[in-house]
């Protein structure tokens, strides 16, 4: 009998660097001891404990690849492993980390000036401040370039107006990254702004009773004649490619993260079917169940292997835009399918909160939609393949 290679047939985890292995172990210990015990209750109550951000910060999980301002300077693989381990517990917690790292710390680090970095990065990396990223609007989801939020130059800054919708962390954020177009709505006029919570004219509204990603607070940002001093404009922003560079980072993390969700459900289903006796033998003794387990094992491991290949290409400074769209789409779609199959393998018990699978399943519906819905990534890949845009 082949020993233990069923879980990691390509030796992905075994071949990690010692530092990445240690990071993965620390995150796993933290998430199983701190996050997992409360996840069912917090999900039931739509409750997010904001003090967790300081715990994430202490562990180096926020902006982990940043080498300055308190960042851990870890590898992109470590960033992926963090997402993978955290999402084993709940996609909401991975969302908290993704938004802060890829959508708030990254744009400030990449498109901010030195004063902005010194002012905002230390408190975001340590988790003392919470950030959010306002791109989507009610009528500008898959096509953010049709946004209605605008800026106009005024004295030594800008006046902003508009509303953002479906924004992770908006109700609890201290720092808001907001994207806006000029008054004439010219697409190439896109600018990013750092706005602090107390700024006059800025308010938020929580989206109540979400049925998915319930632990993660989501809301609207209402921007009514908000004055932003020019020192809070992300001055190195270079058109939409800067906005999309934030999405690339988040999508990369999601591609690892969803496999964490799928893995958690796989192991629950494997254990359950090995122990559940039906027709006088374990469910796992049936060929149909073993085929399902083999399909799950295959998709998770192929997904992880592709994550590792993409991470290597990133390290070589290659253009990974296609790889990331492919991974985000594939890994979300496959994970959703895996988790749905796991739910089925538990029969009625699959519906019970304490088995976790239904929560993962409804969370993955969100993850399949945000950061570019499944079909949008198909259209991105189709356009890049054929040179014909269908948008």
Size of the site for ligand TGC (CB under 6 A): 26
Q: Are 173 and 203 in contact (CB under 8 A)?
A: no
**Per-residue contact flags (x/-) with ligand TGC for residues 115 to 154, judged by CB under 6 A:** ------------------x-xx-----xxxx---------
Q: Which of 85, 114, 371, 374 is catalytic?
A: 371
What residues have CB less than 8 Å from 268, skipping those under 6 apart? 342, 346, 355, 356, 357
**Residue in 142, 159, 140, 141 with CA at minimum distance from that of residue 150:** 159
Half-sphere exposure of 381 (CA within 13 A, CB side): 17
326: nearest Cα among 315, 338, 313: 313
Of 106, 102, 86, the C-alpha closest to 94 is 86
To the query of whether residue 371 is one of the catalytic residues in this protein, the response is: yes
- Reading the block at residue 202, the tokens are 């800025």
Residue 313 binds to ligand TGC (criterion: CB under 6 A): no
- Pick from ligand TGC, ligand FAD, none: which does 375 bind, CB < 5 to 8 A by kind? ligand FAD
Instruction: Determine, following the binding rule CB under 6 A, whether residue 149 of this chain makes contact with ligand FAD.
Output: no
Residues of this chain, 235-274, that bind ligand TGC according to CB under 6 A? 239-241, 244-245, 247-248, 250
- 141 touching ligand FAD, by CB under 6 A: yes
Q: Smallest gap, in angstroms, from Cβ of residue 167 to ligand FAD?
A: 5
Output the smallest distance, CB 257 to ligand TGC, in A.
Answer: 9
Give the number of other Cβ atoms within 10 Å of residue 316's Cβ: 7
Under the criterion CB under 6 A, does residue 135 sit at the interface with ligand FAD? yes
Residue 366 touches ligand FAD, criterion: CB under 6 A: yes
CA distance 341 to 338: 5
Rounded least distance, CB 275 to ligand FAD, Å? 35
Using CB distances below 5 to 8 A depending on partner kind, what does residue 369 bind out of ligand FAD, ligand TGC, none? Answer: ligand FAD
DSSP 197: T
Q: Does 325 bind ligand FAD (CB under 6 A)?
A: no
380 sits near ligand TGC (criterion: CB under 6 A): yes
CA distance 369 to 187: 23
The number of residues that bind ligand FAD (CB under 6 A) is 21
Nearest to 65 by CA among 48, 80, 52: 80
Own/partner contacts of 184-189, CB < 8 Å, gap of 24 or more, are 185/148, 185/150, 187/145, 187/240, 188/239, 188/240
The pair of structure tokens assigned to 383 is: 């356009």
Figure out which of the listed residues 43, 75, 77, 95 binds ligand TGC, where binding follows CB under 6 A: 95
Return the number of the residue (206 or 285) whose C-beta is nearest ligand TGC: 206
Q: How far is the CB of 4 from ligand FAD (least distance, A)?
A: 37
Task: Tell me if 172 contacts ligand TGC by CB under 6 A.
Answer: no
Instruction: Give the interface with ligand TGC as residue ranges (CB under 6 A).
Output: 95, 98-99, 133, 135-136, 142-145, 168, 239-241, 244-245, 247-248, 250, 321, 370-372, 376, 380, 391
Which residues are catalytic, by number? 371
């Amino acid at each position: 009998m082949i020993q233990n290679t069923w879980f990691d047939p390509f030796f992905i985890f075994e071949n990690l660097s010692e530092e990445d292995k240690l990071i993965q172990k620390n995150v796993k210990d933290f998430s199983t001891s701190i996050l997992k015990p409360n996840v069912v209750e917090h999900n039931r109550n739509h409750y997010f404990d904001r003090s967790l951000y300081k715990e994430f910060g202490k562990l180096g999980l926020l902006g982990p690849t940043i080498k300055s301002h308190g960042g851990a300077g870890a590898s992109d693989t470590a960033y992926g492993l963090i997402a993978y381990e955290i999402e084993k517990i709940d996609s909401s917690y991975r969302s908290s980390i993704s938004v802060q790292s890829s959508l708030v710390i990254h744009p400030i680090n990449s498109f901010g000036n030195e004063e902005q970095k010194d002012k905002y990065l230390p408190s975001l990396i340590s988790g003392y401040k919470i950030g959010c990223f306002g791109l989507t609007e009610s009528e500008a989801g898959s096509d953010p370039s049709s946004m209605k939020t605008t800026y106009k130059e005024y004295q030594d800054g800008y006046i902003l107006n508009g509303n953002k919708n479906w924004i992770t962390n908006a109700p609890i954020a201290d720092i808001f990254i907001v994207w806006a177009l000029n008054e004439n709505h010219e697409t190439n006029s896109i600018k990013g702004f750092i706005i602090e919570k107390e700024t006059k004219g800025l308010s938020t509204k929580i989206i109540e009773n979400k049925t998915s990603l319930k632990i993660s607070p989501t809301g609207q940002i209402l921007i009514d004649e908000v004055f932003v001093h020019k020192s809070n404009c992300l001055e190195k922003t270079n058109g939409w490619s800067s906005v999309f560079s934030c999405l690339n980072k988040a999508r990369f993390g999601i591609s690892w993260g969803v496999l964490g969700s799928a893995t958690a459900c796989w192991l629950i289903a494997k254990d359950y079917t090995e122990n559940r006796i039906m027709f006088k033998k374990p469910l796992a003794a049936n060929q149909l169940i073993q085929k399902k387990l083999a399909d799950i094992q295959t998709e998770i491991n192929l997904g992880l292997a592709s994550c590792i290949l993409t991470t290597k290409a990133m390290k070589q400074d290659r253009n990974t835009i296609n790889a990331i769209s492919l991974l985000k789409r594939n890994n979300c779609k496959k994970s959703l399918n895996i988790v749905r199959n796991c739910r089925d393998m538990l029969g009625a018990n699959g519906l019970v909160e304490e088995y976790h699978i239904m929560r993962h399943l409804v969370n993955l519906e969100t993850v399949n939609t945000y950061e570019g819905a499944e079909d949008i990534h198909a259209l991105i890949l189709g356009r890049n393949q054929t040179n014909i845009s269908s948008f």
